A and B are shown apart, each in its own frame.
Chain A
Amino acid sequence: MADMNAHGDGHAHGHSHDGACCHNHAKNTRKSRPSDTDKKTFRPAVSGQKAALGLSAFVLTALLIMAVFAPWISPYDPVEQSLENRLAPASAEHILGTDHLGRDILSRLIWGSRISLGSVGLIAVLIMAVGFTVGSLSGYIGGKTDAVIMRVCEAFMTFPTFILALFLIGMFGTGMTNVVLAIVITHWAWYARIIRSMVLNLRNSDYILAARVAGGSHISIFLRHIALPVLSQLTILATLDLGHMMLHVSGLSFLGLGIQPPTPEWGCMINDARQQIWSNPELAIIPGVMIFLTVLAFNIPGDALRDMLDPSLSDAGKDGCC
């Protein structure tokens, strides 16, 4: 991991995410200070959360560096097979060993991060775009348009999401593009609903009325006073969901409906390892660790955000009666 960070700094594109990494170090040192230990009641949870946040920042940074610099970091070609070297154990040449076709596991993991992170990012952006467009139209225009859009939303929310995604892939055909589309189609309605209610709240607020009285046009009012605040909240919402989306993507890939072999993808790698589960169980475990760590790294900041936004659920009651 340290090696990868060095790579990131060395390149000209060693961008802002390195900042998050330093942040993480600062947090770790603060956590280890002895002063935390004497207040046993609620401090450990808080400093534990800080450590967790630092860890997730570190994991996400490392993953991002892995994804961006995959061609330079990856020791081998991820799809190159060498059958005489199949199922090799971990060694100096192959740090994590090779799979049933003699492909280097580490290289496949590194390249796999591109597909996993890329697809999740794309899904988040698409869901935000669709949800925002539909939800704000529905909320701002109101009336019959609103009623029709909301009925359609409800219909989409009636399906169990994963099952609808399966059905859509069945209809559109397998492949990563269709996995992305299926997840967007199964999730946009929730976003549209939330955005609609946000827009409705804003639309009826006093400052919108003031802007209208001052002679602002619909478009400028919408863009400046409604779209901006809604978009910032929307981004938070989408961040909360990244882990969940990642699980959907990897689940569908695992079923063999996503990316087609030999392109490396973590869910797909676990599926590949099914035949070797008795002889080489680590082949199924290692890619799962990557998925687990990534989802965890997405979920921890999400949870912290939720605590911040809704303090009643976390430590607000610490001085309460119990």
Chain B
Amino acid sequence: MLKFIVKRLLSMIPLLLIVSVVVFLILHLGPNDPAMSYLRLSNIPPTDEALANARAELGLNRPLVVQYFEWLSHALRLDFGISFTTKAPVTKHLLHYLPNTLYLAGVSMLITIVFSLPLGIMAAKYKGRWPDHFSRVLAYIGVSTPSFWLAFIMIIVFGVKLGWLPTMGMGGLRHVIMPAVSVALMSTCINMRLIRGNMLEQMHSRHILYARLRGVKESYITRSHVLKNSLIPVVTALGMHVGEVLGGAVVAEVIFAWPGVGRYAVAAINNRDFPVMQCFILMMTVIFVLCNLFTDILYAALDPRIRLEEASSNG
């Protein structure tokens, strides 16, 4: 198991290097001149002299490769430079907002798991009857609803008309309900159908039939044969949903004035504050990669085939 984890960790390194090259190149090969943005946000008139100074200050005069390695070595030390707008270190600001985003994303993932599991299991168990139809309709609605629209409907209904829930800001548990639900709806629906599909597939596999023939109790079959096997792919899917949830959180943060990194990043996009955006995307990508690593490990722990295959293939 340890070998597997170490291998996975090592395989992340080249991937994250390519990711860093992509992030770096997009800025430098893009149509924008960072020096111009720097001057604009610093309220300095863009004379030729000022532009040259800004270029020198930002290190834009040196060859691209040198710039990349210097940027990377700083990035590895979590130093993404200073924000063009606030002139404060980017990492400090983003790390300040990060826990709020993780809180929102975490609650959304929790909602996804807590609701998709029973709904998916019920849909599979009562296939072709009303729980199944209900879940199908819910899934259609869920994957077709824009999260920001759902957020507005909830604000109108629960915030404005009924006055049950606060419509903005972060506070107690009541503040997190609406943003988290708006983020979680789509993942919940996708997962619910995935669980149903996996369970049905498992139910029709031969070992279930034989277990039944042996007279094993139905509840036991469902629990330890069907459910366990059908949840293994769901673990991976949940890892992928972290990406969706992080993206959805950006939108929810903007709507609900949630003080997270997404809201900060959208402001940075409108300001062309490049260091903030670079730090933001790398931070989110690393979180996403780590979550996937975690689900990979969980997957291997649940499914001995993966673990043994990986260990024997080139170990």
Contacts and interface: CB of A to CB of B under 8 A. Distances in A.
Interface of A: 41-42, 44-45, 48, 52, 151-152, 154-156, 158-164, 166-174, 243, 247, 250-251, 254-257, 267, 270, 273, 277-278, 281, 284-285, 288, 291-292, 295-296, 299-300, 303, 312-313, 315-318, 320-322
Interface string B112-140: 00000000000000011000110010001
B288 interface: yes
Nearest to B193: A313
Contacts of B18: 151-152, 154-155
Given A162-B247, A167-B281, A247-B146, A296 B140 contact: yes
A254 B146 contact: yes
Contact of B22 (A155, A267, A285): A155
Contacts of A166: 247, 250, 265-266, 269, 281
B289 interface: yes
Contacts, number: 173
Which 5 A-B residue pairings sit nearest by Cβ, starting from the closest? A162-B247, A288-B149, A160-B243, A170-B269, A155-B18
A299 to B, nearest CB: 5
Contact of A163 (B30, B32, B250): B250
Given A163-B281, A321-B209, A171 B15 contact: no
A288 B152 contact: yes
Contacts of A243: 143-144
Contact of A45 (B27, B133, B152, B203): B133
Nearest to A162: B247
Contact of B146 (A52, A273, A291, A313): A291
Interface stretch (B54-62, B81-89, B272-280, B302-310): B272-280
B147 interface: yes
Contacts of A255: 250-251, 254, 266
Q: How many of chain B's residues touch chain A, expressed as a range?
A: 35 or more
B153 interface: yes
B203 A159 contact: no
Contact of B152 (A158, A169, A270, A296): A270
A146 to B, nearest CB: 16
A168 to B, nearest CB: 7
A243 B197 CA distance: 21
A160 B251 CA distance: 14
B270 interface: yes
A150 to B, nearest CB: 11
Interface of B: 14-16, 18-19, 22-23, 26-27, 30-32, 127-128, 132-133, 136, 140-141, 143-149, 152-153, 155-156, 160, 197, 200-201, 203-204, 208-209, 212, 242-244, 246-248, 250-251, 254, 265-266, 268-270, 272, 274, 277, 280-281, 284-285, 288-289
Contact of A159 (B133, B274, B288): B288
Contacts of B197: 313
A295 to B, nearest CB: 4
Pick from A257, A273, A284 the residue with the most CB of B within 10 Å.
A284
A308 B289 CA distance: 34
A288 B153 CA distance: 9
B120 to A, nearest CB: 12
B285 A159 contact: yes
Contact of B285 (A163, A172, A285, A318): A163
Nearest to A250: B146
A278 B242 CA distance: 33
Contacts of A251: 146-148, 251
B266 A41 contact: no
A254 B144 contact: no
B142 to A, nearest CB: 10
A42 B19 contact: no
B156 A277 contact: yes
A313 B194 CA distance: 9
A214 to B, nearest CB: 38
Contacts of B15: 154-155, 158
A318 B247 contact: no
Contact of B133 (A48, A300, A303): A48
A141 to B, nearest CB: 20
25 contacts: A44-B133, A45-B136, A158-B16, A159-B288, A160-B246, A160-B288, A161-B243, A162-B243, A162-B248, A163-B243, A163-B247, A167-B23, A167-B277, A168-B26, A170-B265, A171-B277, A172-B30, A250-B146, A251-B147, A281-B160, A295-B143, A299-B140, A303-B140, A313-B197, A316-B204
Contact of A167 (B14, B144, B251, B280): B280
A312 B197 CA distance: 8
Given A45-B128, A159-B288, A170-B277, A317 B203 contact: yes
A254 B151 CA distance: 12
Contacts of B281: 159, 163-164, 166-167
Contacts of A296: 140-141, 144
Nearest to A48: B133
Contacts of A313: 197, 200-201
A152 B22 CA distance: 9
Given A154-B18, A255-B251, A321-B203, 10 more contacts: A151-B14, A166-B247, A167-B23, A255-B250, A281-B160, A284-B149, A285-B153, A285-B156, A315-B128, A317-B127
Contacts of B269: 166, 169-170, 174, 257
A251 B186 CA distance: 14
A223 B31 CA distance: 36
Given A152-B18, A166-B265, A295-B144, A160 B244 contact: yes
